[in-house]
Every structure is written in C-alpha cells, then in structure tokens.
Structure 1
Amino acid sequence: MKDDAGPSTCERVEESEIKPPTAIVPTECFQEITVKTELTKREQDWNPRSDVVLSNQIKAYDAMRRRCPVAYSDYLGWSLFRHEDVVRVLDDHETFSSVVSRHLSVPSGMDPPQHAAYRQLIDRHFEPARVDAFEPQCRAISADLVSRLERNAEIDLAVDLARLFAVRIQCAFLGWPGELHDPLLQWVRKNHEATLARDVEAMAAVALEFDGYITELLEARRRAGSAAPDDITTDLIRERIDGRPLNHEEIVSILRNWTVGELGTITACVGILAHYLAERPQIQKQLRENLHQLPAAIDEILRLHAPLISNRRVAHKPVEIDGRKIAAGERITLMWASANRDEAVFDDSDELRLDRDPEQNLLYGRGIHVCPGAGLSRLELRVIMEELLKATQTMAFVPGRPPTLAVYPAGGFATLPMRIS
C-alpha cells in the first residue's frame, strides 16, 4: 500500500530525534499482522530511541503530545499521545486489534469473542476475597524487606527494595519457590535488554528460558497429583476452557503475562513512589501522618510518572486519527505515559491531587483489557508503602548521587540512591 498519510500535521522534531534508529531488527512480536502490499518509505516524526527521548521519557512524551500527538516512527509505528485518542482505540475492538503477535498471548493478545472466556477464567484468580486473603503474607514480606534496609547509609532502593519486593511478592502469590527469585530477576533484565535492542534471537532465547522454569513447576505439580500445592499455578492445571483443560502453551502464556507485568511494573512503581516522596518532604510528611490517603496518592503519583510506558494495537482497517491516515495492518502504540498526563483531561496535570476522577486514570488500562490484577497491585503497593513509612522517619536523596531513569520499554528508575532513617 502506498503512503497515503498526506502532509504531516506535526511540527518536526530536532534532527537528533528523527534520524532513523540503527540496528532495527523486525521483532517476532510484529510478524503476525503486516501490511500486505508495499509501503512507501514514510518520513519519521520522531525517534523513540534517541538520547533526547531516553534521557527523560516523561518529558519527551509531554512534548510530543503537544507538538505531534499522532506520530510515526519506524520503531513503534504510530504512537498516540493524547488521552482521547488512546481511549478511542481501547474502546473500539473492531477497528483496533490486540492480536499483535504470531505467538499466543492469553488473554491480552486476544480480541472478542475469543477473549471473553479466557478473561472470565483469569478474573476468578483475582477475586477480592483471594486478594484480601493475601494481605497478611504481603505485609510479612514487606516488613521483612524494609527491616533489612540499612539505615543512615547509602542504599539503592531500586535494587535493595523494589526489585526484591516484586519478585518475592510475585512468587508468593503464585506459589513459586524462593529458588526462583534470582533467576527471575536475571530473566527480567535479559528480557528488557532484548526487547529494547529488538534482538529476535535473544528474545526467542529469553522466552525459551522462561518456558523452562514454568515447565518444571507444572511437571512437579502434575506428578504430585492431589498432593500438589493449593495455589494459583496448580489451579491453572485444573482449569477448563470450552469444556477442555488448558493446554501447556496456554498456561505458560498466562503465567508469562502475569510475571512480565508484575515484576517490571511493581518494581517501577515502588521506585517511582519512593522517589516522589523523597523529592517532596511535605507530601511525605502528610502521608506518614495520614496513611489512609495512600491508595488515592499512589494512583495519582503513578498517573504523573507511569510505571508502564506503552501498549500495542494493530489497525484492522484504514482509519484516520487527528488527520493522520493509518492503513490496515499498521502498528499503533498507545503511550500511557503521555495520555495520563494530558492537560485536556487532567487540570493542572503536573500537580498531585487526591480528588481526581479515578475513571479517567488509565494506570490499569480500560475496557475489556483492563488489568485483571489491579486489585492485587493496589494492595501490594499500599502495604509496601505503609510498611516503609511506618518503619522509617525520613527518606531522602544522597547528595551528588542522582537517580538513573529507566529506558524504554521500562518505566521508573534503573538506580535510586537514597538514605533512610
């Protein structure tokens, strides 16, 4: 198909931002749905992997939302930066497909009607009663990790708390052994590096490595039969879909999606929350004295600084957004990190306000693909922040040791030097 997008409505960005990124390898994630006829080379509106963007993703996406809200790049296809455009895509499954990979992704990579049965199955594992029952274990893990943090000395909160909390809490909820903590942390790092580089061979190797972990867990439970641990992983072996048991590929896909989502985003969330409070001592003091405000404050802080940067769709048919013509089969990237800061929806969008309409916050998505584990994530983040604030008197930055921001596709901080007392 020829390039029929017409003249760009975007003001061009700096040369350093738009020159084509190097070493682009077409990832397996985009091979299932492609434009069937040849596309003329399209001029890029921006380069998502430029130093300018990766040095401060939130700032860069704010600038794109104001200057070029529907922007094309070779790396991400069409990126949508405005809240209304992201919501439009989320609500229109006939035009915008979630099937973005040739690999099975249950249920996030499915469209209606296939999606519904799988989503119902998964939702059962995150019912409020089950989530509430997990709070004592979550609190014990949180209190233990906080108690181990060295006081009045430099620590890296991203490494010493956020990552450890994410992996321990994930394994506890799924019933996985502690021996998996270190391998899973290494796996997350390798998965992030391969995704950023679009290294197809590395991505395949990382996926195979994760499958190996899950296969061992499932085989052990199958051998144990009725004596298998009573946990979610065992439940999935016994689940049925359309009158048949879930097959191995489906179970692995479900557990992979949960693990990728949980480890990366919970790590990012804890770092973002700690950083925000260290940067604003008055708000830190307010929340220490009013722990009941934490749930609203957490959602609002994570609206301001997104732990999950983006999500993908594919156009089922030709569509026009903000004057840009998108062909059937073209990739679309929903920029959560921009949409949730859109001034058209959030008055004084840079300010922390606890009275905002929660329905507008896209932190956990929207519509049929809204995060099934939102209730669990909210509980985990509330508990870890309660324990951190109750067990300390101050959280502050280390002079001369600035934090290091994570780079796409990750959000939050790669390093977070802090001192607590």
Structure 2
Amino acid sequence: MSETRQQDWDPRATSVLEDQIAAYDEMRSRCPVAFSDYLQWSLFRHADVMRVLEDHETFSSAASRHPSVPNAMDPPEHTRFRRLIEPYFGPEAMADFAPQCRAIAEGVIDRLPADGEIEAMAVMGQDFALEIQCAFMGWPTSLHEPLRAWVNRQQAATLAGDREVLGELALEFDGVIRELLASRREAGDAAPDDVTTRIMNETVEGRALSDAEIVSILRNWTVGELGTISASIGILMRYLAANPELQGRLRADPGLLPAAIDEILRLDAPLMSNRRITTCPVEIGGRRLEAGERLTLLWGSANRDEAVFGDPDEVHLDRDPEDNLLYGAGIHVCPGAPLARMELRHFMEALLDATIDIAPLPGQPVVRALYPAGGYSEVPLHVRR
C-alpha cells in the first residue's frame, strides 16, 4: 500500500466543488494522474482511463468494501453473472418495455404547466427516475415516495460523509428488497412475472442465487438508475434551454436525439466516477503505484479530453460512439445502457413533442451537484406548451 504522500490536489476544496467540470479540465493538463487522501489516485485522461478499463488483470474491479454483483467482480466470476444479467437489457426485453416507458414519460411530461416555471431536477428528473425504475422492476407505485425519501437521505449522508448513516441506509434499502422477495415467495405461482421474480429464479453455475446476490443485483440496478437518470434529465433539459439553436434542430428532427443525448451527457457527466484497485505494481501516467492502491476513474474528465474530443464543450452529433465513456467500456461496460438510452430518448421525445419552448429563468442560475454526484442539484427553467 502507498505510504503517506503529498497531495496533488484537494477534491473537496470549495473551488473544485463549485465547478467539478472546470476543475477536472484544469487537472487534466496540470496533473493527469493525481493523488489525494480523499480519492487516492485520480485519473483524468481518456487514454489512462481506457488502459485501466481494458486491463482488468492489473486493475481489479473488486474495490468495494461491500459485496457488489457483478460491479465489483473480476473474471471468471464477473463473466458468469454478466451472462445472466445481459438478457434483461437485450433487444427483446427493451421492445417489451418500450410502450410502458413511453407512457410513463408522457405522464410525467403532462404535469408540466402550460406556461410557467419548474425546477427540472425534482419535478422532472426524480419523478421520471422513480416511476420508470419501479415499473421496470415490477415494483408497486406505493414505493415511489418512500424511495424518494430514501434517495434524499442517502444524498445528504453522502455529502456529509456520514458512513454510519450510509450503512444504516444500505441496510434499510436491502430490507425493502428482501420484503419484495418474501412477498413473491409467499405468493408462489401467483407471483407477478416481472424482472424481480425472474431474477429470483435465476441460477449461476447450476445453483440458485443466494438472497445476498439477488439483493446486490437489484440494489445496483435501482440505486444507480435513480441517481443517473434523474441527473441526466437535469443535464439535458438545462443544455437545451441554454442552447435554443440545438433545441430547435432536435424539435425539427427527433431522429438526432440518440446521438445528441449521448453527446450532451459526454460533456457534462451524470455519473462522475468509478473505482478500481491495483493487483500489482504498475506505472501509469508517469506515476508509480504499488499493489493494493485505489484508483478513481473520473468519467467527468476523461470524456472531455481534448486529445480525443478537441474542444470538449462543442457538441458534434457525428462523433465516434466508441470514444464516449458515458456507459464505460471493456468487460464492465454498463449492461443497462440500452435501457437508459431508451428511457432518455422516450423522455426527450415526449418533452419536445409536448412543449413549444424550454428556456432558462433569468436571475435564477442552476446549482451544480457536489461530488460524487454529477450534473445539477437545481435546474430552474421556464416552459411553454
């Protein structure tokens, strides 16, 4: 493990937290592999992040202090669980869920005022994320508000760095999932045929999944989805409000939305980072790391690397999608990417169909989210339908 080192930067400095994106842009040129007590080794460049993603033998995903299936697994264990999980996000599954996805998007958009002010993160982002995720999992609508309260408490505890409360919240969330599993077992053959029930009946290597494995899979899907989808909605709505020319172009040609969504989320990350741990001594970016050192891969920086994207703030709808690390890369690329892309496309299509204009609110600036969250905590906008 690393000895006491001098810090190259302070990720919790006020100047960094006020605008993470700008701070990461500066670090990418000044110190692209940087050490801090808070994040350990942070990687800012696209090439360095790609190297880590493609070399899972040197840079292990088993960096979590808690079981995480399959996020914190390496091959061959990771491979077995990915094989189990991927069909849930395959073309057939997405086609089946698409009508319900569109209906939920339209229902959330229908709540917009005819001509008035909204706060996009709470009114649009969080509502859509809660409703769409519960629908995909087959969970009752009665869970919407308890999950909203849980997400808010979890975000507050994360910002406060309160590990005790975070541990309690993790157990609380696991308890919610275990109650859902128990109710399905009690129902027997009458249990709903949904994603949650199907996961319960899966096997790996010829054995049934343990409850701990089922809970971990469902927790990863749900907690990750609630945060990133709501953040993505806020980022997308803010960007189109601030860029009326692109907003008009997408209204005229909705077929451009998939490329535009990925590109806007490239330059303003909804998910800021991921973790790895070294398995052996290695040199990266001119820095020497020993075995057992922790790394933070900063998507919010790598996806803005000038060496790959030129001016990172320019939106190009014809970029090579392989360069965009929005959903990661390599063997750990996000299995839920097809679902997230479909959800965001349906939401943005419904939003543009139902509105005439989305604009910033004069005198009411957006408020950036604080690490580890990406995007914004407040996005005040004016909409006309």
Partner of residue 389, structure 1: 352
Partner of residue 117, structure 2: 154
Partner of residue 187, structure 2: 224
- Write the letter of the residue equivalent to 1:209: E
Query: Of the two structures, which has the highest relative contact order with CA contacts closer than 8 Å and spacing of 6 or more?
Result: 2
Partner of residue 25, structure 1: none
How is 1:17-32 mapped onto 2 (pairs within 5 angstroms)? Answer: none
After superposition, the C-alpha distances for 1:324-361 in whole angstroms (9 at most, x for unaligned) are 11111111000000000101011232200011000010
After superposition, the C-alpha distances for 1:137-183 in whole angstroms (9 at most, x for unaligned) are 11111111111111322211111011000010000000001111111
Q: Which runs of 4+ in 1 moved over 6 A?
A: none
Length-normalised TM-score, structure 1: 0.90
Give the alignment's Cα RMSD to 1 decimal.
Answer: 1.0
Partner of residue 252, structure 2: 289
Once the two structures are TM-superposed, the CA of residue 64 in structure 1 deviates from its matched residue by 0.6
Partner of residue 16, structure 2: 53
Once the two structures are TM-superposed, the CA of residue 103 in structure 1 deviates from its matched residue by 1.7
Length-normalised TM-score, structure 2: 0.98
How is 1:12-411 mapped onto 2 (pairs within 5 angstroms)? Answer: 35=1, 39-411=2-374
| Contact 2:327/2:337 (8 A) holds in 1 | yes
Return 5+ residue gaps in structure 2 as ranges: none
Once the two structures are TM-superposed, the CA of residue 196 in structure 1 deviates from its matched residue by 3.2
SS of equivalent residue, structure 2 residue 309: coil
Aligned equivalents of 1:102, 1:59: Cα separation in 2: 30
Partner of residue 24, structure 1: none
- Write the letter of the residue equivalent to 2:163: V
| Contact 2:87/2:93 (8 A) holds in 1 | no
| Contact 1:236/1:251 (8 A) holds in 2 | yes
SS of equivalent residue, structure 2 residue 53: helix
Aligned equivalents of 2:350, 2:58: Cα separation in 1: 45
Aligned equivalents of 1:418, 1:195: Cα separation in 2: 27
Aligned equivalents of 2:87, 2:104: Cα separation in 1: 24
Give the count of matched residue pairs.
Answer: 384
SS of equivalent residue, structure 1 residue 134: helix
What's the % identity of the aligned pairs? 59
| Contact 2:15/2:23 (8 A) holds in 1 | yes
Aligned equivalents of 1:338, 1:40: Cα separation in 2: 26
Once the two structures are TM-superposed, the CA of residue 191 in structure 1 deviates from its matched residue by 2.2
More helix by share: 2
Aligned equivalents of 1:40, 1:387: Cα separation in 2: 53
SS of equivalent residue, structure 2 residue 306: coil
| Contact 2:25/2:301 (8 A) holds in 1 | yes
| Contact 1:192/1:409 (8 A) holds in 2 | no
Aligned equivalents of 1:224, 1:169: Cα separation in 2: 24
